[in-house]
Amino acid sequence: MGNDTATTPSPQLPHELRRDITVWGSFMWGYADVGADIYAALGLVIAAAQGAASLAFAAAGIIYIMIGFAYTELAATYPVAGGGHYFALRGLGDFWGFVAGAALLLDYTIDIALFTVASAGYINFFLPYFGIQPDHFLLLIGPLRINYLWLLESLFMILFLIWLNVLGIRESSLFNELFGAFDITIESSIIVFGFLFAWRPELLVHQWQASFPTLHNFMYGSSLGIISFVGLESISQAAQETKRPATIIPRTSVTLIFTVFIFATAFSSLSLGVLPWQTFAQHIGDPIATLAHAIPYIGALAGPVTALLGATILLISANSGVMSASRLTYSMSELSLITKWFDRVSPKYRTPVRTIVVFSGIGILEMLLSFLTPQAMDTLGNMYAFGATLGYLIVFISLIKLRFSDPYTPRPYKMPLNIKLPYRDRTVEFPVLGILGFLGVGMVLFEVILTHRIGRVAGPIWVVLGILYYLYFRKANGMPLAKSVERNWEAHQMDVLTSAEEFDLAEEYRLALKERDERIKRNEQAKADR
C-alpha cells in the first residue's frame, strides 16, 4: 500500500487543539498511563508466571525499552496527534495507517475499561474495614456471578472521565500531574521499605525453583507483562498539545522509559520475596496494596494508603486512555481515514467532544461485557495486549521505512545503534534496534495469539470489522481503496514545526529541502548535457 495516489487536498494541520502541556505534564501523561499499569498487571502476571514473574516482567521490559526509543524518535520528529497511526500513514500509506489506528484504538478503549475496573478494585480494598464483604453485591443470573457494585463504580468513573476530558486538556493534564507526583513518592517508599524490612531473597529463590511455570504459562505471563509498559504512546498522542515538543518529548520519554522499567522489575522481585505467588493470584484486584500491607512497621498504614493511591493512579491511566482514543480518532478523521464527523472541535472547550463521547462509550460497552465473564480483569487483560503489539509491529516497520523515504525531516532524537548505509545519493542511518524491536514485538504477538483465548479471536475480529468499514468509507467518498490519498507532506511538516514553535528545526528542514532540490536540478542538468 504505497503513497502513489489519487489527488485530493493536502492535509491541513488542525490548529484548534491548544498547546497547554508542559514538561512535567508531558512526563505525567506517559507516567499516568504506563506507571499505573503495574497496579493492574502485577497480580495478573504473577498468577500466570508464578515463580518466574520477575523474568516475565524483565523480558517484556526489554522489548518495551526498544518500543520506547522508537516512539521517542517518531513523536519528536512528527509532533502531531495520532501517534502510531500517523507514523504508519507517513511511512506505509493510508491502509496501514488505518490498520495501525484500529489496532491501537482497541488498546485504548480496553485501557479505559481495564483501568477503571482495576481502580474500582482498589477502592473495594476498603470494604472489609466497614464490615462489608464483596460477595454481598453479587447478582446471580443463571451461571453468571456479576458484582454489580464493582460494575457501577467502574461506570461512574468512566462517566467522570468523559466530563473531565470534555472540559479540556489543561484540566485533564492537571488531574494527572497532581496524583502522579504523589504516586511516584509512594511507589518509591514501598520499594525502599519493602526491600529493607520485608524482602527475603531465599523466598524469591525458593519460588523460582519450586514454582517455575510451564512454557505455556510463562508465555501467557510475559505477554501480559507488556500491560505494565503499554501507554508510552500517550506522550505522542498529546504531542500536538505539548509546548516545544521536539525539545520536551525526548527528555520526558527517555526518563519515563527507565523510570517505569525500574519500578516494574523492582515490584515483581520484591513481591516474590515477601509473599507466596498464590497470595497475589488471590488478590488480582489489589496486588500492590496486598504487598504494602505485608511490610512490617508501615504495613498497617501503607496498605490503605497504597489502595487509595492505586485507585487514583489507575483512574489517571484510564484518563490517558480517553485522551489517546479521542486524539487518535480525531487525527484519523482529519486525514480522511474515517468520517469527517469526528474531526469537529467544541468551540467552547476546544476539545474533540464527539470522539471523547463515542469511543469512551465503546470502553463502557467493553467493561459491561467483561463483567459477564468469570474474571472481568483477566478478560480485559486478555484482550489488551493484542491491539498494542499489532500496532507496535507496524510502527517499527514505519520507523525503518521513514529513515529511507523521509531523510530530510530533522530528527531531534534518534534511537541508539545505527549503521550508516548508502542509499541513492545519500547516507541513511539504519536503526539496528528497530529490527530487534520488531522481532521482539513479533514474538510477543505470537505469544498473544497462542495463549490468549479471547484476544486471539476478538482482536482480529475488531481489526477485520475496521477494515470493512475503511473500504466502505473510502468507496462511498470516491477515494482509492488500494492506494493513498495524495498529500503534500512537506508543506504539512513545515506547518507542524511552525505551529509547535520549533523554528530552528523548521529552518533546518527548509534548507534540507532546498539542498535536495538543487541536487536534483544538477543531476538533471548533467543528464541533459550527456
Reported as a single tens digit per residue, the pLDDT across 326-337 is 888 888 998 889
Which pLDDT score, from 0 to 100, does residue 2 have?
A: 40
Considering the domain boundaries, does residue 162 fall inside one? Answer: yes
Report the pLDDT value the prediction gives residue 235, as an integer from 0 to 100: 65
Report d(CA 183, CA 313) in Å as an integer: 7
Which residues form the domain of 128? Answer: 17-489
pLDDT at 12: 46
pLDDT at 11: 47
Q: How many domains does the chain have?
A: 1
Indicate whether 172 belongs to any domain. yes
Kindly state whether residue 117 falls inside one of the protein's structural domains: yes
Q: Among 127, 49, 454, 55, which residue's Cα sits nearest to residue 286?
A: 127
In a domain, 281, yes or no: yes
- At 212 the pLDDT is 96
| Beta strands, E only, 481-528 | 484-486
| The residue type at 398 | S
Among residues 256, 200, 201, 219, the alpha carbon closest in space to that of 25 is found at: 256
The answer as to whether 496 is a domain residue is no
CA dihedral 91, 97, 103, 109 (to 10 degrees): 120
pLDDT less than 70: residues of the chain: 1-36, 134-135, 142-143, 168-180, 228, 230-243
Residue 5, in any domain of the structure: no
State the DSSP string of 403-467: HHH--SS--S---S-EEEEEETTEEEEEEHHHHHHHHHHHHHHHHHHHH-TTHHHHHHHHHHHHH
The answer to whether residue 85 sits within a structural domain is yes
Q: What is the CATH number of the domain that holds 214?
A: 1.20.1740.10
Q: Where are the beta strands (DSSP E) in 89-217?
A: 138-141, 144-147
pLDDT score at 15: 42
Task: Classify residue 519: in a domain, yes or no.
Answer: no
Residue with cell 488478590: 283
